Structure 1
Amino acid sequence: MTVTIIVEGKNDRSKLRRLLNDDIRILCTFGTPNSSKLESLYTEAKQDEVYLFLDNDSSGRKIRALLSDLFPDADHLYTRRGYAGVEGTPDEYAVQQLEKAGLDEFIVYPESMLRPQPEAEHERRRSRE
């Protein structure tokens, strides 16, 4: 089954595109969607596993309500109020939300978040001896 995340804008999509592999489809509402846009989103994602990752502001909450009616089984991802929307959410927090949603297999971890693999750590220790 295709996994689709719906966000508000292209900057939100760009942010998530850096953190997710190409197996995830990311659709944009481009602001508060009109009935035509809602119909288009529904047509594109009606068979998919849908996630909503929207800004934590009045506009984002309004869009979330509209999309929740359209996709009642959608999973919800949230950003904190202090962040400047999805695009302004730190990578670490966005990844944490994606992990909580069970999307681990699709995450492309940023360099800053990569931990040394156990075998690499073992090799590093051996080279010091």
Structure 2
Amino acid sequence: MITYESEKVIIVEGLTDKRKIEKILNENVTIICTNGTLSINRFDELLDTYGLDENEVYIFVDEDKSGIKLRKQLAKELPHAEHIYTSSDYREVATTPYKFLASALVAKHFQVRPFFLI
């Protein structure tokens, strides 16, 4: 297993989601993109590479059909993971306003740049 510096890991669907969340965060957090799907082999690779059984894991995926399916799959494989939700009004993390995302992250005790809470 590769030792990773971060103790917090957020799993998202796409690169756009990752980039948007990275802008908001004000701490070192590993963000993993699944690209919407996750095979058993890919999951095992992520599990080993990022120490998903040992680290704090958060699932932050879209509120659409594929996101809900991925959330269920991840919840089954990572029962200790916490869930962060976007509003079904916005459906996608990438289209959710920064203020809403920042509030959702603060609610899970992430440090965010104060600018995004205004």
Report the TM-score when normalising by structure 1.
0.79
Identity %: 32
Q: 1:22: how far off?
A: 4.7
Q: 1:111: how far off?
A: 6.0
Task: Provide the aligned length of Structure 1 versus Structure 2.
Answer: 111
SS at match of 2:32: strand
Deviations 1:30-54 (A, max 9, x none): 1111112111222212221000000
- Whole-Å separation in 2 of the counterparts to 1:95 and 1:112: 6
Structure number with greater CO (CA < 8 Å, separation at least 6) is 2
Could you tell me which runs of 5 or more consecutive residues in structure 1 were left unpaired when the two chains were aligned.
Answer: 114-129
Name the Cα RMSD after superposition.
1.6
Cα distance 1:56–1:112, how it changes in 2: closer, same or farther (>3 A)? closer
2:77 paired with 1:70:
yes
Report the TM-score when normalising by structure 2.
0.86
- Deviation >4 Å, runs of 4+: none
SS at match of 2:93: coil
Could you tell me which runs of 5 or more consecutive residues in structure 2 were left unpaired when the two chains were aligned.
Answer: 1-5
